[in-house]
């Protein structure tokens, strides 16, 4: 079992305990849903026996080697979500049109829905589950939290992975469509809002947390973002 799966199951267990406790305290009995032992079992297609049409591959994800039997047609995204239980990478469109599935491969951001898992052997794959060091969030994760860079949270893992890569790209002197002089790329300190927005446009957010996301990137590059809060012109504490 991979590391992130352990985390998942711990989380599921804690939910069970919480609800279980609450309801028994309230005197109501509930049939335990099978959600509870969910993560002890792997889903069907990742079983040990090789089925016709499948091949065995190894994927290195967040530092762990995962061996799996899958058909070549399985995308990296589906391998993560359906075979490995790593559901942090999201499927928004399945066609490279939204960015929710963004992961890092050898440090570069890509859409995991547009690549086949078999194509990614011997690469270092990093997903949202692999960004924090234990309980310590990655600075970009913290910045998203503090700048309200999300609402429903569904596009968020993709936005965060994209932002993490963006910082490296800027450090490496990469240009974008809106860079006025292509021979003079921006630095982290001079990275404008226009640059950040263009560079993150491959990550759609229907909740439209765009202002907060841009502010989070500004914080992560060491700039001072505007406050995510509204200005209060009244006496709301009432």
Ligand X SMILES: Cc1cc2nc3c(=O)[nH]c(=O)nc-3n(C[C@H](O)[C@H](O)[C@H](O)COP(=O)(O)OP(=O)(O)OC[C@H]3O[C@@H](n4cnc5c(N)ncnc54)[C@H](O)[C@@H]3O)c2cc1C
Q: Does 1 bind other proteins (CB under 8 A)?
A: no
Map residue 38 onto helix, strand or coil.
helix
Exactly one of 144, 170, 220, 221 binds other proteins (CB under 8 A); that residue is 144
For the CB of residue 74, give the shortest distance to ligand FES in the complex, in Å. 14
Please give the residue ranges that form the binding site for ligand X (CB under 6 A): 96-97
Query: In sequence order, what DSSP letters do the residues of 143-205 get, joined into one string?
Result: HHHHTT--SS-SSHHHHHHHHHHHHHHHHTT---TT-SSTTSPPPTTT--HHHHHHHTTTS--
**And the tokens for 52?**
């016709």
For the CB of residue 213, give the shortest distance to ligand FES in the complex, in Å. 8
For the CB of residue 173, give the shortest distance to ligand FES in the complex, in Å. 26
* Residue 117, H or E segment: none
**Which candidate, 130, 82, 122, places its Cα nearest to that of 106?**
122
- Calpha distance 231→103 (Å, rounded): 36
Please give the residue ranges that form the binding site for ligand FES (CB under 6 A): 91-94, 96-101, 111, 113, 150-156, 205-207, 209
Residue 156 or 219 with smaller CB distance to other proteins = 156
* Residue 70, H or E segment: strand 64-70
For the CB of residue 225, give the shortest distance to ligand FES in the complex, in Å. 17
Exactly one of 59, 61, 99, 219 binds other proteins (CB under 8 A); that residue is 99
Q: Which does 160 bind (CB under 5 to 8 A by kind): ligand FES, ligand X, other proteins, none?
A: other proteins
Which 33-52 positions form the footprint of other proteins (CB under 8 A)?
A: 33-35, 37-41, 43-45, 51-52
């Amino acid at each position: 079992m991979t590391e992130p799966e352990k985390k998942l199951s711990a989380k599921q267990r804690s939910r069970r305990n919480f609800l279980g406790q609450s309801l028994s305290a309230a005197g109501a009995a509930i049939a335990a849903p099978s959600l509870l032992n969910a993560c002890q079992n792997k889903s069907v297609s990742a079983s040990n026996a090789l089925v016709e049409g499948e091949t065995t591959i190894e994927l290195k994800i967040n530092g762990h080697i995962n061996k799996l039997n899958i058909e070549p047609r399985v995308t990296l995204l589906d391998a993560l979500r359906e075979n490995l239980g790593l559901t942090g990478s999201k499927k928004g469109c399945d066609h490279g049109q939204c960015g929710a599935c963004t992961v890092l491969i050898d440090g570069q951001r890509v859409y995991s829905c547009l690549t086949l898992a078999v194509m990614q052997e011997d690469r270092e794959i990093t997903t949202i589950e692999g960004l924090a060091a234990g309980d310590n969030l990655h600075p970009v994760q913290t910045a998203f939290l503090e700048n309200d860079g999300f609402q429903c949270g569904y596009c968020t893992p993709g936005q965060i992975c994209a932002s993490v890569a963006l910082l490296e790209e800027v450090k490496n002197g990469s240009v974008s469509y809106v860079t006025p002089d292509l021979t003079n790329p921006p630095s982290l300190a001079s990275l404008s809002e226009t640059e950040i927005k263009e560079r993150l446009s491959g990550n759609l957010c229907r909740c439209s947390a765009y202002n907060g996301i841009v502010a989070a990137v500004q914080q992560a590059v060491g700039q001072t973002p505007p406050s995510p809060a509204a200005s209060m012109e009244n006496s709301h504490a009432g």
